Amino acid sequence: MPKVLISDKLSPSAVEIFQNRGIDADVKVGLSKEELIDIVGQYDGLAVRSATKVTADVMAAAINLKVIGRAGIGVDNIDLPAATAKGIVVMNTPFGNSITTAEHAIALMMSLSRQIPAANVSTQAGKWEKSRFMGTEVTSKTLGIIGCGNIGSIVASRAKGLQMKVVAYDPYLSDEKAVELGVEKVDFDAFLARSDFISLHTPLTDETRNILNADAISKTKKGVRIINCARGGLIDEAALKAALESGHVAGAALDVFLEEPAKENDLFGTENFIATPHLGAATREAQENVALQIAEQMSDFLLTGAVANAINMPSISADEAAEMGPFIRLAEQLGLFAGQLTESGIKGVQIEYEGEVARMNTKALTAAALEGLMRPIVSEVNMVNAPVIAKERGIRLSEITRDAQGVYESYIRFTVTTERQTRSVAGTVFSDGSPRIIQVKNIDMEALVSPHMLYVTNEDKPGFIGALGNVLGEAGLNIATFNLGRSKPGEDAIALIAIDEPISAETLEKVAALPFVKQAKALSF
C-alpha cells in the first residue's frame, strides 16, 4: 500500500480521499527539517502547502519518494531542480484557488479606488474626513493585466463586468485567445502608457523579476494604481515606494512581498499603500478545493501513473495513460535498444512520430524514450529526470510529427547520432497492444521485444544461421523467437533473437567470433 505524508495543514477531506483510494496517509504538521529528514524516507508521496520547505537535503533522504504535491499554485518552497534530478514528480493545483485569488485582486483594486482601508481607520478614530477620501470610479477605466493565464483571465472577466477596458501584456497570449477573452493584447510600452490600474498575474521567472522596476514605473500614466496578488519580486519595492511618495503612483496594494512573512517592509506606513498577508488563496472554498484536488492527483499518480498539473514532467490523464501505455512502453524500449547498442558519446537524438501516435502526448513519449536511452549509462533515471540528464550531457533533441505515410497506423523511429555513427530503430504497437520492433538501421524486420535478446549484425552468407544456432544450442540457450532482416542479398543482415535466459559473456564471445559477424550484443529489457 502506498504511503503519503501530509506535513502541512490540509482539509480532513484530503485524508479521507487518500484512505478511500487505498493509500495510507499520515498527518504530521509542524515538523522541523531534521524531523522531516528522519521520516521522509518511509513515504511514496509528500503533500505540502507553503510551510514545509522541501530542500535538496530532504529529498536526498527521500529514498522512496515518487511525488510531491503542493496544495496551491506556487512551488517556491520546493527545490524543483533537486526533485527533477532525483526523478520525483512535483505537481501543484493551479485551478483550485484561481477564483479566490482573482477576487482578491478585484477587492484590492476597489479598495484602492475608494481608499477604503484608510477611510475605515480614520472613521473609527472619530474623524469624519469626507473631503480627504475622494475616490475614483473604475467604470470606463483601463485595467492592464500582466500575465493573462488562468487567474489573469478571470480578473479580466470580472473587470469587464465592471465595465472596464482591459489591455494585456503577455508574450504567450495568442491573438485568438485575446479575442476570446475580450482583451486587447499590447506591447509593454503601450501597456504602461495606457493602464489606469495594473494587476500582476504572472509567475516569478528571470524574465518577470522586477518587471515593474523604476524605469517601467516611470513610463506609466501619472496616477496609476498597482495591484500584485501573484508573486513577490515582480515589483521593485524600493522603486514603488519612491513613486508613491512622489505621487506618480496614486496607490498600490500588495498581497505578496519579496521577503515573507513580511513583518517589516519599507513600504509599510507609506501613504496610499495597502498590504495584506498573502491572502490570495485564503478562503474556505479555495483551501478545501486545493486539498481535495492534490489528494486526487497524488492518488491517481501513485495508483495509475496518471500525471496532472506536473511542474517538471508532461501531464498524462488517466485516460491518456491507458491509451498511451503501449506506446510509452514502445518508446522506452526503442530508447533502451539504442542505448544498449551505443558505444560512444551521444551527440544527438531525433524522434519521429507518424500517424495516430503523432496526435498523442509526444512530450511524455519523448521522456520515456530518453529514459530508455539513459538507463544503460545512468543509475537512477526515469521519465522525470531523463530530459534534464540528456540536456546536461549536451544531447541535441529534435522531434518530428507527421501523418501516416506507410502501412502502419502509428510508427515511432528513434535515431541516435554518436561520435562515430548514426543508428536508428523503429517500432509500432500491434492491435493486441504489444510493442514491436519493425526496423533496425533501415533494415525491415519484425520482432516482439523480450526480456533477454541477442542482437547480431553480419554479412548475409549461407550457413551463418546454422552456425549461430549451434553456438546457442551448445550453450543450452533455448530460442524463443528468431527474427531476421537484410538490406540486399549477400550484404548487411541483422538477427534479433529472443532467448529464455541471459547469454553468458563466454557464449557471446563465441557468437562474435563466428565468420561474417560484425557485432554481437546481449540486450536486456
d(CA 12, CA 50): 17
Query: Which of 445, 427, 442 shows the shortest CA–CA distance to 327?
Result: 427
Distances (CA, A) of 53 to 74, 75, 118: 12, 10, 36
Planar angle of CA 291, 88, 296, nearest 5 degrees: 25
Instruction: Give the H/E segment covering residue 37.
Output: helix 33-39
509 CB neighbour count, 10 Å cutoff: 11
d(CA 424, CA 449): 16
d(CA 229, CA 115): 18
| Residues sharing a CB contact under 8 Å with residue 311, sequence separation 6 or more, in sequence order | 75, 80, 90, 91, 92
Dihedral (C-alpha) 107, 110, 116, 118: value to the nearest 10 degrees? 90
| Catalytic site residue from 70, 231, 375, 436 | 231
Strands 422-429 and 435-440 turn out to be: antiparallel
| SS3 (DSSP) at 521 | strand
Query: Which of 522, 83, 89 shows the shortest CA–CA distance to 336?
Result: 522
- Asked about 278 being catalytic, the answer comes back as yes
Question: Length of the chain, please?
Answer: 525
Dihedral (C-alpha) 450, 455, 459, 464: value to the nearest 10 degrees? -70
Phi, psi dihedrals of residue 261, rounded to the nearest 5°: -65, 135
Q: Check: CB of residue 315 under 8 Å from CB of residue 402.
A: no
| SS3 (DSSP) at 169 | strand
d(CA 384, CA 89): 6
Q: Residue 488 class from Cβ within 10 Å (0-12 exposed, 13-18 middle, 19+ buried)?
A: exposed
Planar angle of CA 360, 365, 371, nearest 5 degrees: 175
| Catalytic site residue from 259, 260, 343, 474 | 260
| Catalytic site residue from 70, 201, 278, 413 | 278
- Asked about 486 being catalytic, the answer comes back as no
Cell 511618495 belongs to 245
Radius of gyration of the CA atoms of the chain, in A: 30
Q: What residue type is assigned to position 339 of the chain?
A: G
Q: Check: CB of residue 494 under 8 Å from CB of residue 455.
A: yes
| SS3 (DSSP) at 309 | coil
Grid cell digits, residue 326: 503501449
Question: How many whole angstroms from its chain centre is CA 267?
Answer: 35
Annotated catalytic residues are 231, 260, 278
